[in-house]
Chain A
Amino acid sequence: MAESDQTNRAGESPSTVASPTAVDEETTVTEEGSELERSIGLVGGLSVGIGTMIGAGIFVFPGIAAGQAGPAAAGSFAIGAVVALLVALPASELATAMPKSGGGYYFVSRALGALPGAVVGISVWLGLVFATAFYLVGFGSYAAAVLAEAGIDLGGAGVVVPLGLVFGAFLTGLNLFGTENAAKLQNYVVGLLLTILVLFLGYGGLDAVGIFGQPSAPESFLPFGPMPVFTTAALVFTSYLGFAQVATIAGDIKEPGRNLPLAMVGSVLIVGVLYVVTIFVATSAFGSERLTAFGETAMVEVARSFFGVPGAVLILVAGLLATISSANASILSTSRAVFAVSKDAIIPKYASRMNLKYGTPHVALAMAGGPVLVLTASGEVQVLAEVASFLHLVMYGLICVALLVIRRDEPEWYDPEFRVPAAPVVAGVGAIASFGMIAFMQPLSRRVGAAIMIASGVWYKYYASDVSLKGVL
């Protein structure tokens, strides 16, 4: 248990609001006996997971991925899905045992201690910042394509980053001052996206296998050899970051024992299938070189080749919605990640202050939105994506290690409603796969990611080295 002398440099110690054991299906009960209502159901949880992920995998990556690995990019997405599943299962078990805000950071800090916890917590905050910036650049690409389609000329490719910046500022502001609940809206947006995609991919898939026309086999499956399949898998892994965001809102999920595993595993399965089919359809419509030339909005051209202008417009609109929902969900997750480390006194408690008038976590939101804008300005889609993946993969690997450690010597309070079958194998392979994927990234991304982790560790040693969290509930 936390000792009172375990304080950070500002003299703050971790706060325990509610023990993870004081959880029932609809509420968490705090130490003082107040009830914290859980208000997100299974549909809401799935929509957070899918809504965060779908923007990247379908609307940003296909052109880039096909350019690097050819039609075998479908394999890259499949590899990503398997790795994500291997992590989603251990994460689900830990989340049902500790259904609290904070997700991966919480599990790692409680199972492995404050130093790994702090490194993961701060890294994931910044990892989400990188991911959000990546989604915003994707949004900018779609917004620019919409303007181009409408015949408005704003000076060529230069508008992508400014559009992303403007919208990033708008989303941050919306979350700071908006008190209308938008969760239902998010559910409808995700539902609409899934409908559009299933229709589009269904038709495109049937066309590609030759039902409507000639079967198309434009090029060999592995035009660039097997190695790019793995490097591309590392690049596109950003498309699978969303399931862990479900764990960050675990404190708000109803019936966590049932809904958390279903939402995490289910969202990975759904987007994984959609991604693989998307690449299949895209590479059967165009050769890899053409797709690369289309860049982030390649899917628009694919839709145009099937359905003409209406198809292109539909996918443009879908791309806008998808990148908006990804960016918005990530900003919210970022603010929760900041809250989680701030609550434990790893960073100043000031970061978890709320705005009195709006009831929103304004400091944490600013710590999300501010750096996001700086990174969006760089416009480096691939580096943003890889650094985001790097920082998440470190957390994923450590989540698997956390499960192994906890399972080896189960604490008394540990009572997950969902248990991973063959846990040592799943978590062991999951950890190796997560860390292994990092090896296939660009050197620049690895250096940036490693620098952020080292800086996080140094920060902990400087600011909060007396705080210990292992086994603290």
Chain B
Amino acid sequence: MTDDQPDTAGDLAIREPPRVLVPIEVLEGQTIPQSLVAFLAPAELILLGYHVIPEQTPTEQASMQFEDRVRAAVDDIAASFAEAHSDVEERVAFTHDREQTLDRVADEIDATAVLLPNPTGEIDDILVPLRDVVDVDRLADLVSTLVDGEDKRVTLWDLTGDENTALLDQSEQTLRDRGLADEQIRTESDDVEFPTRAIVDRSDDFDVIVMGEGEQTLLTTVLGDTSERIADGAVAPVLVVRRERSEDGDDEDS
């Protein structure tokens, strides 16, 4: 997929326009709020309708019975995106393992970010928790690409527990460089014991959370990805910015 490489001409650390994977468990009645669709207007959307089945059921058997319904539901959702996105790519998957499918499709399409949907209203307040130094550039670049109006406010929240504010300063500077006004940016830093829970607790004050994917650790292998756990607990949708992948699809830092 040579045409999917990030366009570095605009000196962004992400591809331009960004590509966002929108996974929806359609038969569970999951939907995407229109305000979120509008917020994502600067990005290309890939809509993945998926259906998770227990392992005692062959995927083939599930597709025999449900394929038409899933495809129809995905078509409907894509049609409802038409105002903001004229050309949404649609994909349908049947799986025993949701995370495996999301990871695979995100790799295949070289997604900049994956949306973990939750209900939300008008999008004005954006929370950007900073947890580690990985790919802060990509995070800031995606936020600045999506925040195109004067009316949206971004809260950068440093949760590294580090006295050094370089990370925060760098992110703030990137947002300014990309055209955000000073009054749109707020910075905070806290040293909390459980960042995941702290983010979940603040989620109802914001309309969307944009965060980095984080690193794979033993803990995330046992408990599941941090972003997934936040999306499960949070009131707001979570947009997870993926790490930079090398050309063969592997993580660069592994």
Contacts and interface: CB of A to CB of B under 8 A. Distances in A.
Chains A and B form a bound pair: yes
Interface of A: 15, 17-18, 26-28, 30, 32-37, 39, 100-101, 175, 178-183, 249, 251-252, 332, 335-336, 339, 343, 352-354, 358-361, 365
A179 B54 contact: yes
A36 B65 contact: no
A32 B64 CA distance: 11
Interface of B: 52-67, 70-71, 91-97, 100-101, 104-105
Nearest to B105: A35
Contacts of B95: 36-37, 39
Given A30-B67, A34-B93, A36-B94, A358 B55 contact: no
Nearest to A37: B95
Contacts of A37: 59, 93-97, 100-101, 104
Given A39-B100, A353-B65, A360 B57 contact: yes
Given A39-B96, A332-B56, A32 B67 contact: yes
B60 A181 contact: no
A328 to B, nearest CB: 10
Contacts of A34: 63, 67, 70-71, 92-94
A343 B97 contact: no
Please give me the 10 A-B residue pairs with the lowest Cβ-Cβ distance, nearest first.
Answer: A37-B95, A36-B59, A34-B92, A35-B93, A39-B97, A101-B58, A39-B96, A179-B54, A359-B53, A37-B101
B100 A35 contact: no
Contacts of B101: 35, 37
A179 B54 CA distance: 5
Contacts of A352: 61, 64-65
Nearest to A364: B61
Contacts of B52: 359
Contacts of A18: 60, 63
Contacts of B53: 354, 359
B10 to A, nearest CB: 32
B173 to A, nearest CB: 41
A360 B93 contact: no
B96 A252 contact: yes
A181 B94 contact: no
Contacts of B104: 26-27, 37
Contacts of B62: 354, 359
A336 B62 CA distance: 12
A251 B59 contact: yes
A252 B59 contact: yes
Contacts of B70: 34
B61 A354 contact: yes
A335 B53 CA distance: 15
B51 to A, nearest CB: 8
25 contacts: A18-B63, A27-B93, A30-B67, A34-B63, A34-B71, A34-B94, A35-B93, A36-B60, A36-B94, A37-B93, A37-B100, A37-B101, A37-B104, A39-B55, A39-B95, A39-B96, A39-B100, A181-B54, A251-B60, A336-B58, A339-B61, A354-B62, A354-B66, A359-B53, A361-B57
A17 B64 contact: yes
Task: Count chain B CB atoms within 10 A of each CB in A18, A175, A339, A361 and give the residue with the most.
Answer: A361
B93 A100 contact: no
A365 B56 CA distance: 9
Nearest to A15: B64
B57 A354 contact: yes
A354 B65 contact: yes
Contacts of A178: 54, 56
B54 A101 contact: no
A359 B96 contact: no
Contacts of A15: 64
B1 to A, nearest CB: 15
A305 to B, nearest CB: 40
B65 to A, nearest CB: 5
Contacts of B64: 15, 17, 343, 352
Given A18-B63, A35-B101, A181-B96, 15 more contacts: A30-B63, A32-B71, A36-B60, A37-B93, A37-B97, A39-B55, A39-B97, A39-B100, A175-B56, A251-B60, A252-B59, A343-B60, A352-B61, A359-B54, A360-B56
Given A34-B92, A37-B93, A183 B55 contact: yes
A358 B54 contact: yes
B27 to A, nearest CB: 9
Contacts of A33: 92
A361 B63 contact: no
A310 to B, nearest CB: 31
Task: Count chain B CB atoms within 10 A of each CB in A35, A100, A101 and give the residue with the most.
Answer: A35
A343 B61 CA distance: 8
A100 B91 CA distance: 22
B57 A359 contact: yes
A36 B56 contact: no
B61 A36 contact: no
A360 B95 CA distance: 13
B73 to A, nearest CB: 12
Contact of A17 (B57, B60, B96): B60
B105 to A, nearest CB: 8
A37 B244 CA distance: 24
B61 A361 contact: yes
Contacts of B67: 30, 32, 34
Nearest to A249: B58
Contacts of B60: 17-18, 28, 36, 100-101, 251, 339, 343
A250 B62 CA distance: 16
